[in-house]
Structure 1
Amino acid sequence: MRTSIATVCLSGTLDEKLVAASTAGFDGVEIFEPDLIASPHSPEDIRDRASALGLTLDLYQPFRDFEGVGPELLEQNLRRAAAKFALMNRLGIETMLLCSNVATARSGDEQLAAAQLRQLGDVAARFGVRVAYEALAWGRFVDSYEAAARIVRLADHPRIGLCLDSFHILSRGHNPEAIETIPAEKIFFVQMADAPLLSLDVLSWSRHHRLFPGEGGFDLGTFMAHLVRTGYDGPVSLEIFNDTFRQADPLATAIDARRSLRWLEHETAAALGAPAGGRAARMSTHNLPAVEPPADVNYVELRTGEVAELRRLLAQLGFRPHGEHRTKPVELWTHGAARVVLGAPESGRAQPTVAGIGLSVGDPSLALRRARQLFAPEVPRAEGEGDEPLVGVSAPDGSEVFFGAGRGAEPRWVGEFGAPDGDDAGMIERVDHLNLAQPWQHFDAAVLFFHSVLDLRTEASVEVAAPVGLVRSQVLHSPNEVLRIALNLVPSGAGEDAILPQHIAFATSDVLELARAARARGFRPLDIPSNYYDDIEARYQIDPALLDDLRELNVMYDRDEAGEFLHFYTHPIGTVFLEVVERRGGYAGYGALNAPVRLAAQYQHRRAGEGVLA
């Protein structure tokens, strides 16, 4: 698969965008006209710079509002096109993107549009270039790829073909199956974009909310399979209009973009099946190494300046200390199969509080190979004599994911710490889920990382009201439900008041008993207002004795058709807090209706600590 990216996807100057695309491993780029106009470099300099970076210049875009116009405006449009074609010759670009008319078209007559495109093709032929006609989802008369294909067929000109854009096709709900009826030689260019499934006018949706493949809700693997079956073998390019990407570091965005196309290649190969694509297929597509779901969450590593407070909290919840590692400045706490590695932040490194996750997998080397193919940077681990080998990669926010061998048994690395102090209380069973707050510039990248590298399934995202704004939450989980991760997007502009620490949720079979035992050790849970319990009493037909226990112990409650969910929270310690959950029956959620109450309680706790009346 030949990969390309539009410069509009990236922040920075045109040269910075070219460098980022090259460093990330793209084959080529599309030049977005405003980037060229704003550049102090000549077209020849840009052509030479791209060549020196190993990039082809694949497309010049966009050319707008050409077809369906009257004779006088057509002449102006042809003169305008000739000037752009001359510019493309200077850049060394052979293909121009022509968008369907949204502003100046007076007629929807497809014969007229085809005749005018034929004239445009004659001008393009003088310059040795091609025109790829794209149906915009909001085009005045041409808003579907099938209409654009009819016009191109009627134009019957070797210099006039199609550009297929997944967003314009899928956002309107058009069936991409008819792509297979288009001759490959008439598909001049392909642009790919994902997007969240929103109820929004399509123009605003397109301009602000496109995502890289794998970050949204479109079925792009099936889309690409239809394309590959035509015999198309040209560039597969990313054209992503996204407010966040245009503010983030261009290299980080470009690497994320390249990861998305490698994931898309895998999804395409899977959708094609065997033999890959049949006789017509010329584009190469390759599956990623298949990895089994993790057998368990081996450990969670916390890095915080409040180590002493977290020690006390873990002890109150029944965790046992093992002491420090024999060669590293971290300590181990365990309760059942839940393991917390605790240490201070590493100097000179920007680390989230949940600094690492360890997963037990069938074949760590295979998991690492998949991660490498998805451009996840490997994390070197200093190993002392006799230490168990672990391999790991970095997530977009700087946290680390390590893979170790093992299935259910206590991992060998536990022996690198001291013996546990005291008996296991036997009430916490394992890590239930992780809730990771993400900075604005890493949220979508984190979704793609966990979705592609760990092969996690995504659930529908939700928005939760908090005192500092709306919190967007995206849950991902392994097929066996062993690994559950909720990614939360910190509200933009929330500043210092944003109470979105990360947290670990531990599973127990009796949350009420555990809450009582913890209280006997001095534990104080997050205070839940009495109004909350009045509300759940009205909402559910709940046993009065159970309701009394919930009130007394500050335990929250949720219910669905499959079962019940009981859970309580600790107070935040710095940028982390803990949760203990009990799932009854087949309940698989996370108590989403309780999240606004929890967020408000944490906010009020912090404000009270600052001496502010909450």
Structure 2
Amino acid sequence: MRTGIATVCLSGTLEEKMAACARAGFDGIEIFEQDLVTSAMSPEEVRSRAADLGLSLDLYQPFRDFDGVDDEQLSANLRRAAAKFTLMGRLGIDTILACSNVATATRGEDDILAAQLAQLAGLAGDHGVKVAYEALAWGRYVNDFEHAHRLVQAVDHPNLGTCLDSFHILSRDWDTAPIENLEAAKIFFVQVADAPKLSLDVLSLSRHYRVFPGEGQFNLAKFMGHLARTGYDGPVSLEIFNDVFRQSDVTRTAVDAMRSLVWLQEQGAAWLASAGETERLPLRMATLPRVPEPTGFNFAEVKAASTPAVETLLGQLGFTSEGRHRTKDVQLWTMGQARVVINEAAPEGAEPAISALGFDVENPLLASSRAQQLLAPVVPRKSQADEEVFQGIAAPDSTEIFLCQGSADGTAAWTSEFGPGAAGRGGRRPGAVIDHVNLAQPWQHFDEAVLFYTSALALEPQPFAEVPSPTGLVRSQVMDTSNRGVRLVLNLAPLIQQGDGVHKSYQEHIAFAVDDLVATARAARKRGLKFLDIPENYYQDLAARFDLEPDFLDTLRELNLLYDRDADGEFLHFYTATVGSVFFEMVERRGGYDGYGAPNAPVRHAVQYGQRHSSP
């Protein structure tokens, strides 16, 4: 499949955008008119630069508000079109995108629309270019792809075809099956975009909230499957209007974009296979190594220049120190099957932070190969000849992800590198497991992170939630596996004012599940653990919401435990103080409770905020 991207998706100058697209591996690009108008390069220089980069120039866009106008306006529009067609000749682009009229149309009869499009097609033919007519979802008279295609058929000119844009189809919840009825030769161009399902008008959603495939909620796999069945074999190009993407690093965004198209090809091929499609269709979609989802967390790593505070917290929680690695500046702490690595090889002054996560997978080499084909950066770690070699990749927030060989009994061979007894003590004995990990995401990489964990690690995104905090709403996105062996929570924290600058409220944590939280809390208190001091108002509200036994409520209050309940079970949990940007959570799941105590999150945020801003 030929891949493309519109320059409007990216930040920077036209030259910077072109270079980033080439580095990311795109076959071609769409030149957005504003990028050319504001560029210091001449059309000929743009053409030459694209050739040097190995990029084809596939489309010039947009040509707006042509059809459905009066005769005087039509003459002006044809003059404008002639100028653009001449410009396209200088660029070496043979296709222009013409959008259905949204602003100046006064005539909506199909015979008039077809007659005017016929004049545009004839003029395009004279210049040796083609017109791809696109139905905008908010077009005044033409706003669906089937109507646009009927007009193209009525004109019946070799230089007029349609442009299919997934956003304009799926944002209106239109069925994509009729795409299969379109004549492939008349589909001149295809654009794809994803989007979240928000309660917005379609125009606002389009202009600000489009995202790359896999980062929203559209069924793009089905769209691609129906497109493939038409016999279309031209470019599939991204057209994303997103305020965040246009402020982010241009190269990172281009890589994220390319990753989304690789993922989309796999999803489209899988949809066709599930529908019994066995023929080799002209639109050949690449497939990736298929790997099962992770079975669980192998370890979590906290990195700091000074680690005593982290060691103290883990010891107070009941973790056992398994000693130091024989060749690396790291420690291993275990509690049941929960393993925490403390990495001391941090730059001077670096405060504790979550630096790496290990996931148990069936085949680390195959999983790593898949991730690399999805453009995940490789993270090597030095190993001696007799030490385990981890397959490592970097997540968008720079967290290192290690793909580890899972085992039926829950042991990890690498723990023997900390001493002969460590491996045996890491099995499925009573104690704890890593229940979930909560990672704070930079605002400009949140959507990228969702796609990364979906495509590279086969985690499934759940509907996102927004949690109130003293500094604003925190967007929370759960990513998990089907059996909940891995639960990963991505949080987009609000920006807050601190002194002379604006900073992200950056906190994240590792949660451990135990069988008896009350006993764990009592033991931790005896070891000197300082819990978050939960306000009395919380427990009074808890008594009002749930019919709890007085003694049980007193126990919760005494130990600063939080509680939630749903139709499937109960959830108890508590939090430690924060060191650096890290804190720990201990949880107990009773029955079939599958959440995270979301009603308690505002309490936790408020208490932590108070601690950070309390007077010394």
Q: 2:565 aligns with which of 559, 570, 594?
A: 559
Q: How high is the TM-score relative to the length of structure 2? A: 0.96
- Residues in 2 aligned to 1:283 and 1:290: alpha-carbon distance in whole angstroms: 21
Return 5+ residue gaps in structure 1 as ranges. Answer: none
| Number of the residue aligned with 1:432 | 435
| Number of the residue aligned with 2:454 | 451
Offset at 1:362? 1.4
Identical-pair percentage: 55
- Residues in 2 aligned to 1:278 and 1:364: alpha-carbon distance in whole angstroms: 30
Runs of 4+ in 1 over 4 A off after TM superposition: 274-280, 348-352, 419-427, 493-498
- Residues in 1 aligned to 2:467 and 2:145: alpha-carbon distance in whole angstroms: 37
| Number of the residue aligned with 2:537 | 531
Matched, 1:592 2:593: no
Matched, 1:569 2:575: yes
Offset at 1:352? 8.8
Question: Contact conserved, 2:269 with 2:285, CA < 8 A, in 1?
Answer: yes
- Residues in 2 aligned to 1:350 and 1:343: alpha-carbon distance in whole angstroms: 11
User: Aligned in 2, Cα 1:277/1:67: closer, same or farther, shift over 3 Å?
Assistant: farther
Question: Contact conserved, 1:294 with 1:359, CA < 8 A, in 2?
Answer: yes
Give the secondary structure class of the aligned counterpart of 1:568: strand
- Residues in 2 aligned to 1:34 and 1:231: alpha-carbon distance in whole angstroms: 33
Give the secondary structure class of the aligned counterpart of 1:57: strand
Offset at 1:480? 2.1
Q: 2:554 aligns with which of 548, 557, 560?
A: 548
| Number of the residue aligned with 1:37 | 37
Question: Contact conserved, 1:63 with 1:96, CA < 8 A, in 2?
Answer: yes
Q: Alpha-carbon deviations, 1:226-261, whole Å to 9, x = none?
A: 000000010010001111110111100000110000
Question: Contact conserved, 1:468 with 1:498, CA < 8 A, in 2?
Answer: no
Alignment of 1:414-425 (within 5 A): 414-418=415-419
| Number of the residue aligned with 1:516 | 522
Offset at 1:347? 3.4
| Number of the residue aligned with 1:122 | 122
Question: Contact conserved, 2:305 with 2:352, CA < 8 A, in 1?
Answer: no
Is the deviation greater in 380-389 or in 183-192? Answer: 380-389
Question: Contact conserved, 1:499 with 1:603, CA < 8 A, in 2?
Answer: no
Question: Contact conserved, 1:499 with 1:599, CA < 8 A, in 2?
Answer: no
User: 2:212 corresponds to which letter in structure 1?
Assistant: F
Question: Contact conserved, 2:305 with 2:351, CA < 8 A, in 1?
Answer: no
Question: Contact conserved, 1:354 with 1:399, CA < 8 A, in 2?
Answer: yes
Offset at 1:375? 0.9
Question: Contact conserved, 2:305 with 2:346, CA < 8 A, in 1?
Answer: no
- Residues in 1 aligned to 2:497 and 2:104: alpha-carbon distance in whole angstroms: 43
Alignment of 1:326-341 (within 5 A): 326-341=326-341
Aligned residues: CA RMSD: 2.0
Give the secondary structure class of the aligned counterpart of 2:96: strand
| Number of the residue aligned with 2:484 | 481
Offset at 1:494? 5.2
Q: Alpha-carbon deviations, 1:253-276, whole Å to 9, x = none?
A: 000110000000000000001798
- Residues in 1 aligned to 2:187 and 2:546: alpha-carbon distance in whole angstroms: 58
Question: Contact conserved, 1:300 with 1:339, CA < 8 A, in 2?
Answer: yes
Matched, 1:181 2:184: no
User: Aligned in 2, Cα 1:21/1:42: closer, same or farther, shift over 3 Å?
Assistant: same
| Number of the residue aligned with 1:504 | 510
Return 5+ residue gaps in structure 2 as ranges. Answer: none
Alignment of 1:75-474 (within 5 A): 75-273=75-273, 277=277, 279=279, 281-344=281-344, 346-347=346-347, 353-407=353-407, 408-418=409-419, 428-474=431-477
- Residues in 2 aligned to 1:494 and 1:137: alpha-carbon distance in whole angstroms: 40
Q: How high is the TM-score relative to the length of structure 1? A: 0.96
Q: Alpha-carbon deviations, 1:358-404, whole Å to 9, x = none?
A: 12221111111111111111111200131012111111111111112
User: Aligned in 2, Cα 1:348/1:181: closer, same or farther, shift over 3 Å?
Assistant: farther
| Number of the residue aligned with 1:56 | 56
Question: Contact conserved, 2:352 with 2:579, CA < 8 A, in 1?
Answer: no
User: Aligned in 2, Cα 1:375/1:276: closer, same or farther, shift over 3 Å?
Assistant: farther
Offset at 1:121? 0.1
Offset at 1:428? 3.4
User: Aligned in 2, Cα 1:291/1:494: closer, same or farther, shift over 3 Å?
Assistant: farther
- Residues in 1 aligned to 2:77 and 2:378: alpha-carbon distance in whole angstroms: 52
- Residues in 2 aligned to 1:185 and 1:293: alpha-carbon distance in whole angstroms: 40
- Residues in 1 aligned to 2:159 and 2:351: alpha-carbon distance in whole angstroms: 53
User: 1:511 corresponds to which letter in structure 2?
Assistant: L
Offset at 1:305? 3.8
Question: Contact conserved, 2:304 with 2:350, CA < 8 A, in 1?
Answer: no
